[in-house]
């Protein structure tokens, strides 16, 4: 059986970059941006809008879905974006991520204890996903069950966002939004002051339902991404026993390990934009109204400027843009880094003899994120 795009998308991304750092795709009717500098230029350009969902979206027929996505600051431009992002920025600052260190440690330890002694463990389902949900639960300061349930519903939203023209996906996402609205509405009265969402409650200066919309956004943005980094990161190490051993024995610089894994297999492979006015990128003119897909995964491998882009090398100089760039730069980056570092360090140290069953590896398909659906290992 051949290797599918989902198993290894990098040969396809490489062929994109070999074509050009930026090109117009006739079939998809979108500019594809693959070069690192071109990607940075697009993401930092004020002529590029994140309000791309206005084009060809089947969400029109589903007001609850429209309203929810209409409230995500991820999909807004300044000045509205700036105002909403600012309400959470201080919470997400490096200081808060550092103070979460102990809580992240406790989440990881709990899930390591749960899998210890099991005959087989699914890296994705039994470890990466619950660790990501646990970390998110600490950010929102809610019980783990809330983020686990939210993740189930948000899978439909992710599928819709990956293919927003599909009516059936919009219908499923709208159902999910109903469920999520009840979940977060029920939580509001008991939300603690340490929740990232607390400042959004009862703030009359904010648009209505900002609390609900932002709860959805943070849950969406933090779950599959963090789980993806932990699961794929461990898998890539398992494929390279000498590197796995280095990490397990504490011989590797863990921050460099996490950055290299972010570069090597980027959890958010692409981000969309739409041009507000004509803009020239790498000599090509993007016209107002054109859609643009920034392929972070291609930009991170950066074959054009690197001879060993396909090698996992902790010592390389890092220039990855896995968390984006410009005004939408990921708010959760310090937390995601801390979570992945702790999970990868403690898993490898606890289970130095982990044995992968390669035939069980399944990659997520059509979710918009890069991550594992399952990968079974023996840890004993
Ligand atoms: C490995 C894990 C993660 C990766 C790779 C990642 C990646 C990204 C990227 C690429 C963007 C920019 C999207 C764009 O420009 O359109 C983004 C935005 C965002 N991320 Fe993350 N993310 C991760 C984890 C998290 C976590 C754990 C949280 C929250 C707890 C989070 C919250 C957000 C938010 C709120 C935004 C929107 C920022 C804005 O629009 O101003 N992310 N993330």
**Where exactly are the structural domains of the chain?**
10-378
Architecture of the domain spanning 10-378 = Orthogonal Bundle (1.10)
Nearest one of 311, 321, 310, 352 to 259, comparing CA atoms: 321
Q: How far apart are CA 13 and CA 57, in angstroms?
A: 26
How far, CA to CA in Å, does 191 sit from each of 27, 182, 221?
47, 14, 20
- Contact indicator for 135, 107 with CB cutoff of 8 Å: yes
pLDDT of residue 94: 65
Pull the structure tokens for residue 255: 């921050």
**How far, in Å, from the CA of 359 to the mean position of ligand 1?**
31
pLDDT of residue 253: 98
**How far, in Å, from the CA of 330 to the mean position of ligand 1?**
4
**How far, in Å, from the CA of 365 to the mean position of ligand 1?**
20
Return the residue whose CA atom lies nearest to atom 15 of ligand 1: 328
In the chain (380 residues long), the average pLDDT of successive 10-residue segments reads 86 97 95 98 97 80 91 96 91 77 96 95 98 97 95 93 91 96 95 92 90 96 97 98 98 98 98 96 96 98 96 96 98 95 98 97 93 95
Beta carbon of 258 within 6 Å of any ligand 1 atom: no
Return the residue whose CA atom lies nearest to atom 20 of ligand 1: 330
pLDDT of residue 1: 54
């Amino acid at each position: 059986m051949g290797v599918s795009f989902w198993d290894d998308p990098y040969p396809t991304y490489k062929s994109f970059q070999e074509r050009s750092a930026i090109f117009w795709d006739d079939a998809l009717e979108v500019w594809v941006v693959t070069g690192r500098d071109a990607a940075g230029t697009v993401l930092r350009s004020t002529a590029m809008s994140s309000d791309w969902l206005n084009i060809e979206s089947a969400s029109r027929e589903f007001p609850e879905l429209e309203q929810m996505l209409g409230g995500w600051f991820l999909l807004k431009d300044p000045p509205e974006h700036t105002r909403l992002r600012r309400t959470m920025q201080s919470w997400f600052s490096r200081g808060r991520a550092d103070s979460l260190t102990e809580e992240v440690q406790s989440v990881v330890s709990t899930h390591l204890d749960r899998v210890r002694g099991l005959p087989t463990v699914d890296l994705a389902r039994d470890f990466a996903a619950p660790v990501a949900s646990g970390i998110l639960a600490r950010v929102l300061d809610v019980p783990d069950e809330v983020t686990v349930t939210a993740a189930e519903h948000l899978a439909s939203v992710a599928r819709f966002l990956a293919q927003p023209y599909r009516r059936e996906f919009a219908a499923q996402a709208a159902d999910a939004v109903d469920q999520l609205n009840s979940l977060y509405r029920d939580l509001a009265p008991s939300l603690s002051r340490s929740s990232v969402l607390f400042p959004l409650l009862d703030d009359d200066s904010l648009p209505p339902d900002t609390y609900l919309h932002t709860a959805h956004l943070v849950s969406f943005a933090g779950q599959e991404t963090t789980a993806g980094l932990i699961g794929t990161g461990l898998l890539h190490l398992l494929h390279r026993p000498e590197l796995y051993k280095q990490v397990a024995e504490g011989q590797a610089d863990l921050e460099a390990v996490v950055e290299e894994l972010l570069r090597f297999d980027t959890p958010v492979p692409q981000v969309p934009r739409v041009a507000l006015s004509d803009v020239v990128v790498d000599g090509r003119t993007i016209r107002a109204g054109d859609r643009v897909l920034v392929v972070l995964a291609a930009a991170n491998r950066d074959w054009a400027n690197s001879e060993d882009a396909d090698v996992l090398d902790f010592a390389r100089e890092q220039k990855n843009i896995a968390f984006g760039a410009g005004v939408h730069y990921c708010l959760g980056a310090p937390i995601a880094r801390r979570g992945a570092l702790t999970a990868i360090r403690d898993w490898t140290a606890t289970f130095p003899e982990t044995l992968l069953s390669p035939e069980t590896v399944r990659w997520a398909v059509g979710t918009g994120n890069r991550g594992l659906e399952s990968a079974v290992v023996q840890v004993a």
